């Protein structure tokens, strides 16, 4: 038996979330069993725990789209007992039991080795949010974005993806403008490297097909009207890396930015991202994300507190990264 957060669907369709003892025999199929040292709480986890979004595809479910830990047993050729590993995405916490429990059993192909100099705690402080942020930065760089081209906008900047993105871009020499719905986070965002902090005012409402050119690049985690208005305000041949839908799945935009200014909309998916790109992202994180910055945007909560913390994610009360010690003494 081991402890974990287990979600069940009630007869009336609600989600019942509770910390409970779980039988190891109930773990799903996989060729690697991992003792989880650290996990995280993300926006998607909050949707699953609260039942506010159709995240869970199989019941019961252990949420947690991230984990870092130590291999306990393995029939996968790349991993042996004692190896330190990290998992992000692959539908874990949605269709396959995730990391908010003391044990996880997964496919070895979903794992990556823990990258030096990161500890398992560091890896979860980065988590899917930070790894997604790095994928966005890499996408913009592949498009040809350089610091001399102008300002780069980051929406939802006080959240997990946004916070890490601000820090990464600033480290690379970009002038970063952070957009946040919380004015009280200005000092926090400037501490991460933002040169300027703006509100969402005017961006979260219907806008013009084309606006004044302002942004050379952008990373958007919001979607909806915000993404449409960001695209409308891009400079000629600017690029937007889009990776989130906190503001909705709709994109009430026109083709004008794309056919008149050559704007590129770069979709970034972290869940099914191929292994080579994952490894590239983690290697770049090791070189581009200072330890002191990572510490500034991270806080810990206990496994028992994840249920009460989940609604705060959805109401925009959480900033930065939230990590969950499961068995921190493992490593």
pLDDT in tens, 180-228: 988 889 999 999 999 999 999 889 999 999 999 999 999 999 999 999 9
pLDDT in tens, 61-110: 999 999 999 999 999 999 999 999 999 999 999 999 999 999 999 999 99
Q: Name the pTM for this structure.
A: 0.88
Please give the Cα distance from 70 to 23 (Å, whole number).
Answer: 19
Domains 2-125+294-330 and 145-267 share a fold: no
Span 2-125+294-330 CATH architecture: Alpha-Beta Complex (3.90)
Is residue 72 within 8 A of residue 33, CB to CB? The reply is yes
Q: Confidence class of residue 247 from pLDDT cuts 50, 70 and 90?
A: confident
Asked: is 145-267 a CATH 3.30.1330.10 domain? The reply is: no
Stretch 19-25: mean pLDDT: 96
pLDDT of residue 331: 67
pLDDT reading at 248 higher than 90: no
Residue 109, Cβ neighbours under 10 Å: how many? Answer: 13
Domain boundaries, the chain: 2-125+294-330, 145-267
């Amino acid at each position: 038996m081991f402890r974990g957060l287990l979600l069940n669907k009630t007869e009336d369709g609600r989600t019942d979330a509770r910390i409970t003892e779980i039988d190891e025999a109930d773990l799903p199929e996989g060729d690697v069993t991992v003792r989880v040292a650290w996990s995280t709480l993300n926006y998607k986890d909050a949707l699953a725990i609260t039942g506010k979004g159709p995240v869970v595809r199989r019941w019961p479910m252990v949420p947690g789209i991230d984990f870092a830990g130590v291999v306990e047993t393995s029939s996968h050729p790349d991993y042996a007992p004692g190896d330190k590993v990290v998992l992000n995405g692959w539908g874990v916490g949605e269709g396959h039991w995730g990391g908010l429990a003391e044990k996880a059993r997964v496919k070895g192909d979903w794992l990556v080795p823990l990258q030096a100099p990161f500890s398992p705690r560091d890896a979860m402080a980065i988590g899917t949010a930070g790894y997604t942020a790095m994928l966005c930065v890499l996408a913009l760089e592949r498009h040809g974005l350089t610091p001399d081209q102008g300002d780069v906008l980051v929406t939802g900047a006080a959240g997990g993806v946004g916070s890490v993105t601000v820090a990464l871009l600033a480290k690379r020499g970009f002038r970063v403008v952070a957009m946040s719905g919380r004015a009280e986070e200005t000092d926090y965002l400037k501490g991460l490297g933002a040169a300027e902090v703006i509100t969402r005012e005017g961006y979260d409402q219907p806008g013009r097909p084309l606006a004044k050119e302002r942004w050379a690049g952008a990373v958007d985690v919001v979607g909806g009207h915000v993404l449409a208005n960001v695209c409308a305000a891009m400079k000629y041949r600017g690029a937007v890396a889009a990776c989130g839908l906190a503001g909705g799945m709709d994109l009430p935009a026109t083709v004008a930015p794309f056919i008149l200014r050559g704007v590129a909309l770069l979709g970034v998916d972290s869940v099914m991202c191929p292994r080579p790109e994952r490894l590239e992202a983690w290697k770049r994180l090791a070189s581009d994300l200072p330890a002191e910055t990572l510490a500034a945007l991270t806080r810990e909560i206990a496994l028992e507190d994840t249920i009460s913390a989940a609604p705060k994610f959805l109401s925009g009360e959480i900033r930065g990264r939230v990590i969950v010690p499961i068995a921190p003494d493992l490593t």
